[in-house]
Amino acid sequence: MNFASQIASNQRFNLAAAAVEGKDSPENLVEYFLGRLSAAPFATGPMDGLHAYLRAGGTWTGSTAQLRTKAPGLSRLIVGSAEYQFV
């Protein structure tokens, strides 16, 4: 998890730039990152948690600023999850 946190921090601008493909909604962004990171399927509870993380702090707009904030955090959450760890 520490490695994932460091990578996400160092690559936050690259993650945000890549995340533009899924910026239309929190659901699209989660699916984009799950596809890129090749995690196992998430159960409903953890998936709802990822969506809640993206919606926290206000309405989802998909703006560049929002992607710069949320994309690195989302990648850390996915890489630190049990679904990712056991693939």
Convert the pLDDT of each residue in 3-44 to its tens digit. Answer: 555 666 667 777 888 889 899 999 999 999 998 887 788 889
- φ/ψ region of 42 (left if φ > 0, alpha if ψ in -120 to 50, else beta) reads beta
Q: Compute the distance between CA of residue 56 and CA of residue 33 in angstroms, rounded to an integer.
A: 18
Could you tell me the pTM of the whole model? 0.82
Cβ(8)–Cβ(46) under 8 Å?
no
Would the pLDDT of 52 be above 90? Answer: yes
| Residue entry with tokens 């707009």 | 61
